[in-house]
Amino acid sequence: DVCMCARSTTLAPTRSMDQLYSTVETSNFSSSPGSLPHPSWDYRNLVPAVALSLCFSVGVPGNISVIILRPNWEHLSSLSQSLMLNLAVSDLFCLLTLPLWIYALLYGWTFSLVSCKLLTYVVYCSLYGSLLTVTGLSIQRYLLVVHQLSCQRIQKRLLLVLLWLVALILSIPTLVVRDLKTEQQWPDCQAQYSSDAQQVAVMMTETVFGFASFFTVALAYVFLRKKLNQAAFFNNPQTTRLITSIIVSFFVLWVPYLTINVLGVAAICLKNEELLKFCTKTGNIFRSLTFVNSCLNPLLYTFTSCKFCAILFCCKINNLNYKICH
């Protein structure tokens, strides 16, 4: 029995983003055979469940209103409209699955293996699609404001197809590693890795993609703000706050999860049990923050699109004045 316990401890996988939707520590769960499962009130389950409930309550109406109303879009290019509509749809798909994950956090996974794999795959596709769309919007705004490139030659349908194709490919590991597991009569939908190398590969893919998206978004808006500072007549504090909010929200909501992933990889490589336990205990709390981004996206992008129209207009005037004076 001691050998079996030691072997189980050695093979226990570090929680990656793949296990955001899985229940964690089951030591406080107990039930008699044949009885209904009792809810888990452990803070490592309860805190993510509350956070996800708030995300569902706020994010679903917000993204639906974007899809129906399309506010302040009359002066936007067709590419900008397509990207923001795609952002709202991807965020909505992700948020609509939250009730099932909230139930799983509190009562365990009582559904089939197929639903476990497919629902997780939908969430991953939506998250990757949302990140790719945010990155694309940032690059487009950078090109419009800094280089005065309209991107009209870009075929929006081809761009969206490529975007979702990348998201579908990046989500494939979820179908491979996701499985059902029962511990102390607590059913769980979680990742089951065949080896440490497979786990490290999955976590590193998520981490590299996440940091690449963050730095692309941050740099795009930093250069955009630098361009605005060169226009002496244009000094809008609201624009500064908007750009700062986009960068800070991305950092606060995604970097903690990415950091946990890095620590998880380090724990596997160094065989550090203490670090492994820390990642396991705090993983769900940090990863639940990533869903908040789906709630903020309508406020940060869609409902503030008119401000970027004003930015582009002012930059065009400034560029015209510069050509006249020189």
Question: Measured between alpha carbons, how far is residue 238 from residues 90, 141, 178, 312 in Å?
Answer: 27, 17, 44, 15
Secondary structure E strands in the chain: 178-183, 186-191
151 found inside a domain: yes
pLDDT class for 120, splitting at 50, 70, 90? very high
1 found inside a domain: no
25 found inside a domain: no
For residue 270, what are its two tokens? 């160094």
Q: CB–CB of 99/263 below 8 Å?
A: no
> What is the pTM (predicted TM-score) of this model?
0.79
Give the whole-angstrom CA distance, residue 189 versus residue 108. 8
128 found inside a domain: yes
For residue 36, the model assigns a pLDDT of: 45
Distance, CA of 207 to chain centre: 12
pLDDT of 314 strictly over 90: no
Q: Is 37 exposed, middle or buried (0-12, 13-18, 19+ CB in 10 A)?
A: middle
30 found inside a domain: no
Domain that residue 208 falls in: 40-325
29 found inside a domain: no
Give the residues across from 180 on adjacent strands. 189
Split into its structural domains, the chain has a count of 1
33 found inside a domain: no
5 found inside a domain: no
Q: What is the pLDDT of residues 178-227, one digit of tens each?
A: 998 887 777 888 888 888 899 899 989 999 999 999 999 999 888 887 87
Report the amino acid identity of residue 303.
F
Q: CB–CB of 29/184 below 8 Å?
A: yes
pLDDT of 122 strictly over 90: yes
For residue 249, the model assigns a pLDDT of: 87
CATH of the domain at 52: 1.20.1070.10
For residue 240, what are its two tokens? 């500064």
Residue position matching structure tokens 């380090």: 266
For residue 299, the model assigns a pLDDT of: 79
Q: What is the pLDDT of residues 262-290, one digit of tens each?
A: 998 999 999 888 887 888 777 777 878 88
DSSP class per residue in 85-127: HHHHHHHHHHHHTHHHHHHHHHH---S-HHHHHHHHHHHHHHH
Give the whole-angstrom CA distance, residue 309 versus residue 313. 6
Q: How far apart are the first and last CA of the chain?
A: 84
Q: What is the pLDDT of residues 66-93, one digit of tens each?
A: 898 887 777 777 888 888 899 999 999 9
